[in-house]
């Protein structure tokens, strides 16, 4: 085997259709484009979304809803999760702690929610708190610090 006799495996390739090379080829004359009409002529290109004059989908289906550009997405963390994380004796929970624990990314805004019970006095730093979370943290003798 050398470079001069390399060829693709048998059956892996097909001959190309040679269009417009005379009537004897079977693909001469109209060159497989049919008779007349825009599609038979050079320069034809169908508009994207064109459905032959039928009302196209993007005009049949109504617009609805909108995306509020001012919406703030929070990463929700419940109090029972905080209680489980602080078994090792940590008392101050800030954004860096949540990132190292794998609960939030660096850029995420954190909101503490009030599901669960907390017994230790914790100082929790977050971007937002629910009322029930603040009550639970302060009832346990802790502090909820808004960033």
The predicted-structure confidence for 65-87, as pLDDT tens digits, reads as follows 999 999 999 999 999 888 888 87
Question: CB-hemisphere CA count at 13 Å for 57?
Answer: 2
Give the pLDDT score at 66. Answer: 92
pTM for the whole structure: 0.55
Domain for residue 62, yes or no? no
Q: Which residue range(s) make up the domain with 81?
A: 74-146
Give the pLDDT score at 94. Answer: 86
Domain for residue 103, yes or no? yes
Domain for residue 124, yes or no? yes
Total domain count, the chain: 1
Domain for residue 67, yes or no? no
Which contiguous run of DSSP H or E holds residue 138?
helix 131-139
- The DSSP code sequence of 45-85 is -PPTT-BTTBPPHHHHSPP-----TT---EEEEEHHHHHHH
Closest CA to 40 of 30, 25, 49, 50: 30
CATH number for position 112: 3.100.10.10
Which contiguous run of DSSP H or E holds residue 134?
helix 131-139
């Amino acid at each position: 085997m050398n470079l001069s006799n390399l060829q693709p495996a048998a059956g892996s390739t097909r001959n190309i259709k040679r269009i417009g090379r005379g009537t004897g080829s079977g693909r001469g004359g109209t060159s497989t484009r049919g008779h007349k009409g825009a599609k038979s002529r050079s320069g034809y290109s169908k508009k994207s979304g064109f459905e032959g004059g039928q009302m196209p989908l993007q005009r049949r289906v109504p617009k609805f809803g909108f995306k509020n550009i001012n919406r703030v997405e929070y990463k929700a963390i419940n109090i029972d999760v905080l209680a489980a994380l602080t078994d090792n004796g940590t008392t101050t929970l800030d954004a860096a702690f949540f990132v190292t624990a794998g609960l939030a990314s660096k850029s995420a805004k954190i909101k503490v929610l009030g599901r669960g019970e907390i017994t230790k006095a914790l100082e929790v730093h977050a971007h937002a708190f629910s009322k029930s979370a603040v009550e639970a943290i302060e009832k346990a003798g802790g502090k909820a610090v808004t960033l």
